[in-house]
């Protein structure tokens, strides 16, 4: 079964039938918000979204990319040589079979889909160039609203851990949230497009971020 919209085409299974119309409405609204952030009117091609109702087949599909299959993986985004974007996502029932997703709800599925949609927009925005992990995952988690800020957040790790991608997604989220909300939009758009700038500015950005949250925590 398939639904075609301006920014995306969704192929879904009977598992999504009960909520597919609500999901489509949600993604239509949110896709416009995401595109607005990147100051883009549209993607070159609509995103091809496929729901999978078989975890093993999904993992076999992902295995063909040559990447290691992580037990928590529930969705991926990628593009082909023609720059057509694809999002492959497990149905909710299959997501719940993955490590860390056992208690996922329909809301989690929506947010995972939006997370992958942010990746596709970012990929096109930066002309398919590489980016630091803190930017890739920080943007995807922040713009998809996957996490709620914790009042007692502290930066209790070395900056190299974050720079090398050795932190969890919540830390990427908090770092990117701080960058976006404490810098000009012009600066942020330049940063997320330029990997050299991401590396050159990282130390100063991290120091400001760390000082802000650690000082805030001490004052509570």
Task: State pLDDT tens for residues 185-207.
Answer: 999 999 999 999 999 999 999 99
Q: How confident is the model at residue 51 (pLDDT cuts 50, 70, 90)?
A: very high
Q: Confirm or reject CATH 3.40.50 for domain 1-128, answering yes or no.
A: no
Q: What is the DSSP string of the chain?
A: -EEE-SSEEEE--GGGTTTHHHHHHHHHHHHHHHHHHTT-S--SS-EEEEEES-HHHHHHHHHTTT----TT--EEEEE-TT--EEEEEE-HHHHTTSTT-TT--HHHHHHHHHHHHHHHHHHHHTTT----HHHHHHHHHHHTT-----TT----S-HHHHHTT-S-HHHHHHHHHHHHHTS-HHHHHHHTT-HHHHHHHHHHHHHHHHHHHHHHHHH-
User: Average pLDDT in the 131-159 region?
Assistant: 92
State the span(s) of the chain assigned CATH 3.40.30: 1-128
- Predicted confidence (pLDDT) per residue in 11-25, tens digit: 999 989 999 999 999
pTM of the predicted model, to two decimals?
0.95
């Amino acid at each position: 079964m398939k639904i075609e919209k301006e920014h995306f085409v969704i192929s879904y299974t009977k598992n999504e039938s009960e909520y597919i119309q609500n999901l489509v409405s949600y993604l239509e609204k949110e896709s416009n918000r995401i595109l607005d952030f990147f100051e883009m009117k549209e993607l070159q091609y609509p995103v091809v979204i496929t729901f999978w109702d078989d975890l093993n087949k999904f993992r076999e599909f992902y295995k063909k990319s040559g990447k290691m299959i992580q037990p928590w993986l529930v969705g991926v985004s990628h593009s082909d040589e023609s720059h057509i974007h694809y999002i492959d996502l497990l149905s909710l029932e299959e997501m719940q079979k993955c490590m860390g997703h056992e208690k996922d709800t329909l809301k989690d599925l929506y947010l995972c889909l939006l997370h992958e949609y942010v990746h596709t927009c970012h990929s096109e925005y930066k002309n398919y160039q590489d980016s630091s992990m803190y930017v890739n995952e920080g943007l995807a988690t922040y713009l998809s609203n996957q996490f709620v800020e914790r009042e007692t957040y502290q930066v209790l790790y070395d900056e190299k851990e974050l720079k090398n991608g050795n932190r969890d997604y919540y830390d990427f989220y908090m770092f990117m949230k701080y960058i976006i909300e404490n810098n000009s939009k012009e600066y942020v758009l330049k940063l997320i497009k330029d990997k050299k700038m991401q590396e050159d500015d990282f130390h100063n950005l991290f120091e400001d971020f760390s000082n802000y949250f650690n000082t805030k925590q001490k004052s509570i």
